Structure 1
Amino acid sequence: MAEHPDCALIRRGYEAFGNGDMDAMAALMTADVIHHVPGNNPMSGHHKGRDQVLDFYRRLGEETKGTFQVHLESVLADGRGHVMSFHTARGDRGDRGIEIREGLFFTIVGHKITDIDQCTADIDEEDAFWS
Structure 2
Amino acid sequence: MLNTVKAYFSTLAAGDIEGFASLLADDIVWHQPGHNQFSGDHKGKADVLKMLGGMVEYTHGTLKVVLDGEIMLNGNLAACPVRFSGNNGTKNVDLTGIDLLEIQNGKITQVWLFSAGGGAEDEFWG
Cα distance in 1 for partners of 2:9, 2:30 equals 15
The reply to whether residue 10 of structure 1 matches residue 5 of structure 2 is yes
Listed one character per residue, the Cα deviations across residues 107-131 of structure 1 (whole Å, up to 9, x for unaligned) are 1111111000000001111110000
Q: Does 1:29 align with 2:24?
A: yes
| Partner in structure 2 of residue 75 of structure 1 | 71
Q: How does 1:102-117 map to 2 (within 5 A)?
A: 102-117=97-112
> What secondary structure, in the 3-state scheme, does the structure 1 residue paired with 2:28 have?
strand
Report the Cα distance in structure 2 between the residues aligned to 1:9 and 1:111, rounded to whole angstroms: 6
Moved over 4 A (4+): none
Aligned position for 1:91: 86
* Identity between Structure 1 and Structure 2 (%): 26
| Structure 2, unpaired ranges of 5+ | none
8 Å CA contact retained: 1:83, 1:106: yes
**Alignment length (residue pairs):** 125
3-state DSSP of counterpart to 1:39: coil
Unaligned runs of 5+ in 1: 1-5
How far 1:7 sits from its partner (Å)? 2.2
Tell me the distance in 2 between the aligned counterparts of 1:109 and 1:98.
32
TM-score (norm 2): 0.94
1:64 aligns with 2:49: no
Cα distance in 2 for residues equivalent to 1:67 and 1:44: 19
What RMSD in Å do the two structures reach over aligned CA positions? 1.0
- Partner SS state of residue 113, structure 1: strand
Contact 1:7 1:76 in 2 (8 A): no
Structure 2 Cα separation of the partners of residues 113 and 46 of structure 1: 15
